[in-house]
Chains A and B, each alone.
Chain A
Amino acid sequence: MRRSGLPLVLAIGLGCNSQPVICRQLPVARHVAREVTRGIQPKGWPGLSRPVAIACDESRVYVLDMDDGDIKVFSRWGIFESVIGRKGQGPGEFNFPSGLDIFRGRLYVADSANRRVQVLDTKGSYLSGFRVPFSPHRILALGPDRIVVTSLPSGRSEKERVLHGFDGSGEILWEAGDSFFSRDSPYDLMKNRWFIVRAAKGELLLVPGADGRVIRRLDADGALLEETKVSERYASQEVAVPAKAGGKRSLRTFCWNCAADAGKLFLLVPERTDDGDLGPGKTIAVLNRAAGLEATIAFPVRLTRIAVDGNMIFGIDVDSSLRIFRTESR
């Protein structure tokens, strides 16, 4: 007996989340990541101290090193090539930088302890920069004249804004995203971890690091366009954490890190550690535009940061090494 393909077509056309009756969920594809041969690093290779952000373009991989205050540049095969910047306060120097983005041949750095944003070309030449009234945490360029920066709320007052939009000269254009506030600063900060990734048409996605499974799509002016609840097939885990006055509170982690590529969102799934904590994991979940779980990719190591370009995945492992993978069907 032949079954009609109509429900499936409807499900794809309308999005599984909005049509649970019609939708027949597609099976989740399972992929594995095969490591591309790890190259031998050249003599004098400085190593990575505390890699906190990774970005790639068509020819290179850039790793932001918080402790060294620089950007280490690698080939797409993982061979170290050069260093951009150094620790300091001058142009092209960084002090505990924490966010990095690359867009149209320009590197955008959240120079956290210097409380500024810096823009460099991919050779490391300083192009521009501006001061910000907070310690910038993550950064995303939507265009040369639209730079989005996240901040860490101080935890001293209610509803601090965590998302800030600037033009290229550093003039603040908009602020969005009210912070969670419960007078328990460490707990609140964990709940206020947000990731920002580029979406199509100069828009951005705001992805929660913990609690909640709603992904927000905003335009370059900070206006909320859409909220999409992530499919329940993507499981988030809960952990009991220390709270004020010796108590315990639960925190549901959502993702450890994330990246976007070709209209898909890649979430690094937190994983239970041997001591019962939740930390970096060995799985990436791939979400489609409707926030449905489309595939999972299994890795041989725990990853802390990821960047995706086609079937290549660049990651930092828990030992602070750059790892390069190619995805294959299982």
Chain B
Amino acid sequence: MKRAIAMSLAVLTILSALYWLPQSAAARAPADLCYDDWEACRSRALQSDEGVIRTILWLTVCDVGLGKCLLKL
């Protein structure tokens, strides 16, 4: 009986690992995309030549966008 329970647990553990591993690998990609977009947003804001105050506002929008993007994941 004990052996059967141990076997079942082992199978469950392996199946769980197989189930979760691809998901965790896939979950990293969208986060990377969020950060890629954020970096591009900041770079564009800094190159906007809109003036200091407006640039800071744009940079804030970039940060808010990053937060939203990460929350959606």
A120 to B65, CA, bound (A): 35
- In the complex, are the beta carbons of B60 and A304 less than 8 A apart? no
Number of interface residues of A (CB under 8 A): 33
Once A137-B43, A152-B43, A189-B42 are accepted as A-B contacts, the answer to whether A273 and B51 lie under 8 Å apart by CB is yes
Q: In the bound complex, do residue B46 and residue A189 qualify as a contact, i.e. CB atoms below 8 Å apart? A: yes
Question: Helix, strand, loop or mixed for chain B's interface?
Answer: helix
Chain A 20-48, CB-CB to B under 8 Å as 1, else 0, gives: 00000000000000000000000000000
Task: Count how many chain B residues have C-beta atoms less than 8 Å from C-beta atoms of the other chain.
Answer: 21
Chain A residues numbered 74-121 whose CB sits less than 8 Å from any CB in chain B: 96, 98, 112-113
Given A66-B44, A112-B43, A135-B39, residue A277 in contact with residue B51 (CB < 8 A): yes
A78 and B73 CA atoms in complex are apart in Å by 48
What's the minimum C-beta distance from B20 to chain A, rounded to whole angstroms?
27
Cβ-closest chain B residue relative to A137: B43
Q: Indicate whether B47 reaches chain A with its CB closer than 8 angstroms.
A: yes
Q: Which residue of A is nearest B54, CB measured?
A: A277
The answer to whether A304 and B53 touch (CB under 8 A), given A113-B39, A152-B39, A186-B59, is: no
Q: Which residues of B contact A96 (CB under 8 A)?
A: 40, 43-44
Contact partner, A190, options B36, B40, B43, B59, Cβ 8 Å? B59
- Contact B42–A113 (Cβ < 8 Å): no
A208 nearest CB across to chain B (Å): 14
**Closest chain A residue, CB of each to CB of B36:** A113
Given A96-B43, A185-B59, A189-B59: A304 touches B51 (CB 8 Å cut-off): no
Contact of B53 among A135, A185, A277 (CB under 8 A): A277
- A300 contacts chain B at the CB level, 8 A cutoff: no
Question: With contacts defined as CB atoms under 8 Å apart, how many contacts are there between chain A and chain B in the complex?
Answer: 76
Interface membership of B10, Cβ < 8 A: no
> Which A residues lie within 8 Å of B60 (CB)?
186, 242
Give the Cβ gap from A174 to chain B, nearest Cβ, in Å: 23
Contact A190 B39 (CB under 8 A): no
Q: Does A15 count as interface, using CB distance less than 8 angstroms?
A: no
CA distance A242 to B64 in the complex (A): 15
Contact, CB under 8 Å: A186 / B56? yes
Q: Is B57 an interface residue (CB 8 A)?
A: yes
Known: A185-B59, A189-B59. A304 touches B43 (CB 8 A): no
Which residues of B have CB within 8 Å of A66?
43-44, 47
Chain B residue nearest in CB terms to A151: B39
A200 interface residue per 8 A CB criterion:
no
Smallest CB-CB A-B distances: 8 pairs: A277-B51, A186-B59, A279-B51, A304-B49, A52-B47, A135-B39, A277-B53, A186-B56
